[in-house]
Amino acid sequence: MNPLSALYGAEIGLRNVLYDRGSLAVRRLQAPVVSVGSISAGGAGKTPFLILLGELLKQRGLAFNVLSRGYGRKSKGVRLVDPAGSAQEFGDEPLLIARRLGVPVIVGADRYSAGEFAETKFGLQGHLLDDGFQHRRLARDFDIVLITQRDLHDSLLPAGRLREPLTSLARASALVFMEGAPVEGIPVREGQSVWRVSRGILAPATKEACFAFCGIARPENFFTDLGTAGVKVVGTRAFRDHHTYTAQDVEALYRQGQRSGATAFVTTEKDAANLGGHAEQLRPLHVVTVRIEFQVGEETALEELGAALQSRAEARVRE
């Protein structure tokens, strides 16, 4: 193992032991908390899965809000996301979630304070905790962890992308295997649920020659998905994850598109949020939605989530 990864792993292991023993404080909100997370740094599909979960909860008339760190935002403190706002103010993923789900999304580095804000302003709705598996300071009633095929063969940071070893999956309530990720090799403990989901895109119905660009964790997946969907891609460019586009970036993209013979541009919803007003300079611009769907476990998932939310509500009444 890489020495730096070994050092990182020892630090993470000690932190988890201290939380498991109760040596580090955990705070509990009044309303139930359902966490959606992963053991890898980016690219697991947490945001589209949280949106899927939110859509299913909305269909069943359940009120909830979303708590998020708001990675990459320039604002400070606890903020209620304005869907008409900018990624610079709220973070690209919280902004996307707010626009897609139409529910309150609250950003704050301290998710407990964000939850308190939500409960004061909106009452005791359930909380969906975005990217919460490592945020152990906040107690949760149900812990969902997404697993990709790459996670099974990856290394701990900084040599790889794993934020925790595979053994940490034991503390999850439910393991969500992305399409292609085998269950074999993962020790599923008794009482732990296993769900399967698939990832895809809603590709634009266009015959235009497109220049594709994105700033996401695994850009190669996006470019491959476009080709599989039949989009004619004549050129690509990848930026770092959560990239905030400048006027210079857009000018360079426009020139690259022209040189490649493109007559249109195509990108992700997340990148559209980070483009802001610059998007007008790349018309026609096709914005692609990334979607996750249940293959196995949708009804079970909703039953278990409902039971967890109900159990917490009953416990609150007893308190």
115-143 tens-digit pLDDT: 999 999 999 999 999 999 999 999 999 99
The pTM of this model reads: 0.93
How confident is the model at residue 287, as a pLDDT?
A: 96
| 317: pLDDT strictly greater than 70 | no
* Residues 131 and 36: beta-carbon distance below 8 Å: yes
Contact 117, 284 (CB under 8 A): no
Give the chain's end-to-end CA distance (angstroms, integer). Answer: 48
**Residue 82 per-residue DSSP state:** -
Share of the chain above pLDDT 70, in %: 97
Which contiguous run of DSSP H or E holds residue 62? none
User: Where would I find the H helices in 102-246?
Assistant: 111-122, 219-228
Domains of the chain: 3-15+23-198+293-318 (3.40.50.300), 201-292 (3.40.50.1970)
Task: Examine the pLDDT at 313 and tell me if it is beyond 90.
Answer: no
The pLDDT confidence band at residue 319, using thresholds 50, 70 and 90, is: low
Residue 179, pLDDT score: 80
